[in-house]
Amino acid sequence: MIEQTSEEKRPDIILLVITLILVTVGTAMIYSSSSILAMERFKDAQYFLKKQILFVLLGLSIMVLLTKFDYHRLKRWAYPGIALSVILLMLIFVPHVGIRAGGARRWLNLVLFSFQVTEMVKICIVLFLAHYLTRKVNYITTFSRGILIPLLVTLFIIVLIALEPDFGTAVIMALIMMLMLYLSGSRLRHLAVLVAFLIPAAVWMVVFKSYRLERLKVFLNPWNDPGNKGFQIIQSLLSFGSGGTFGVGIGDGMQKLFYLPEPHTDFILSVIAEESGFLGVAIVIFLFGVLVVRGFFISFKAPDLFGTLLAAGLTMVIALEAFINIAGVMGLIPLKGLTLPFLSYGGTSLIMSLVAVGILLNISSHERS
């Protein structure tokens, strides 16, 4: 086996610049989309902006720290991270510890702040799979010795996430698992059997849960109930339609005035569409496209399998979250309640996205020569 060599070099500057642009745009648009809402709720138009700036500073500090040491040292956190993920996911179901909002338990009440556990779990499961599959690479074509353990661990976590319920994140975790198993060299017939199991399970979760089936019906025809179940997506589509080519101007949008629900979180792209038009949305999608391409390029150039799997998994986390949010608010898929990485308001989402970028930057500085 030929040993690949790597050399220390500067982190991927394109990935860094794209990330900083997205964070800057997100911070500005959070203020534009939330000032009226913040004044109504907290009598302070800058309430959400101030908190987001603190999240940005904390997230960027962590990102910088993660670029300063060899990413191989993360291996020691693979098993503790997965154990912590299971514990925190279980704590969500404890009364007064898990916060119930919008019909789901997805946050932990940590007194001073709330913490969305699944955002951390995505990073931990990618790290665990990258480490375990690298260790078992010689047995990866054998089901029992290669992929059974990571498969069972990941499926157990997916079940916990689905019970919150958080169907969107469960789907993301399943897709990431499939990608990492494929990249590690798993047999296609093993993956085919896994797909044959997961697809019927996903269909069952949709068909036998009335609210998910209703969400699918709303997606197919939101105008059937425009004042209730179809209200969110209709208002989002109105935002895109009213923005035209260049938008009505930053800060001048009308849909954020209590028409769009939570315009600074799930529907921030709708605000961008109204205020900066098709051009603004196209730029945002282009930036995410470049970020994802750079992430997979870093994966391809990583000096070892661990770096390849880790970079690919983290890139997929960002790519899938961005795709599901963008496609959802544009009416291309059913709404899933996922935030838009780097742009939406929320400390846990932003910090974990910057953690992912920090690790990617670290891997990029050790690429093969």
Look at residue 7 in the predicted model and tell me its pLDDT.
55
Whose structure tokens read 């309640």? 337
pLDDT number for residue 144: 87
Mean per-residue pLDDT of the chain: 91
pLDDT band at 262 (very low <50, low <70, confident <90, very high): confident
pLDDT band at 102 (very low <50, low <70, confident <90, very high): low
> Each residue of 263-306: pLDDT tens digit?
999 999 999 999 999 999 999 999 999 999 999 999 999 999 99
Unique residue bearing structure tokens 């179901």? 93
Contacts of residue 31, Cβ cutoff 8 Å, sequence gap at least 6 = 46, 48, 49
Q: Please give the pLDDT value at position 3.
A: 40
Q: For residue 110, is pLDDT > 80? A: no
Question: Residue 296 in contact with residue 312, Cβ under 8 Å?
Answer: yes
Cα dihedral sign, 23-29-35-36: negative
| Residue 98, strand partner residues | 108
Residue 316 has pLDDT above 70, yes or no: yes
**Amino acid at position 333, single letter:** I
Which contiguous run of DSSP H or E holds residue 312? helix 305-329
Q: Cα(212)–Cα(210) distance, rounded to whole angstroms?
A: 5
> What does the pLDDT read at residue 81?
96
Burial classification of residue 184, based on how many CB atoms lie within 10 Å of its CB (0-12 exposed, 13-18 middle, 19 or more buried): buried
Q: Which amino acid is at 293?
A: V
Going by pLDDT thresholds of 50, 70 and 90, the confidence category of residue 165 is confident
* Least confident segment among 110-119, 177-186, 337-346: 110-119
Higher-confidence residue: 229 or 294?
Answer: 294
Task: Measure the CA–CA gap between 98 and 112, rounded to whole angstroms.
Answer: 14
The label of the residue with tokens 């191989």 reads 72
Phi-psi region of 245 (alpha: psi -120 to 50; beta: other; left: phi over 0): alpha
Which residue has 């790519």 as its token pair? 319
Q: CB of 22 within 8 A of CB of 354?
A: no
pLDDT, tens digit, for every residue of 59-98? 999 999 999 889 999 999 999 999 999 999 999 988 888 8
Predicted confidence (pLDDT) at residue 216 exceeds the cutoff of 90:
no
Helices 305-329, 268-301: crossing angle, 10 deg rounding: 160
Digit-coded pLDDT (tens) for 2-60: 344 445 678 999 999 999 999 999 999 999 999 999 999 999 999 999 999 999 999 99
Q: Which two tokens stand for residue 315?
A: 């890139």
Q: Establish how many alpha carbons lie within 13 A of residue 94's alpha carbon, considering only the half-sphere containing its beta carbon.
A: 9
Percent of the chain with pLDDT over 90: 74
Where do the H-state alpha helices sit in 105-264? 117-135, 148-162, 167-183, 188-207, 210-220, 231-243
Distance CA 300, CA 112 (A): 41
pLDDT at 214: 84
Domain spans, the chain: 13-364
Block residue for tokens 């899938």 = 320
CB atoms within 10 A of CB 292: 18
Distance, in Å, from the CA atom of 48 to the CA atom of 346, rounded to the nearest integer, reads 9
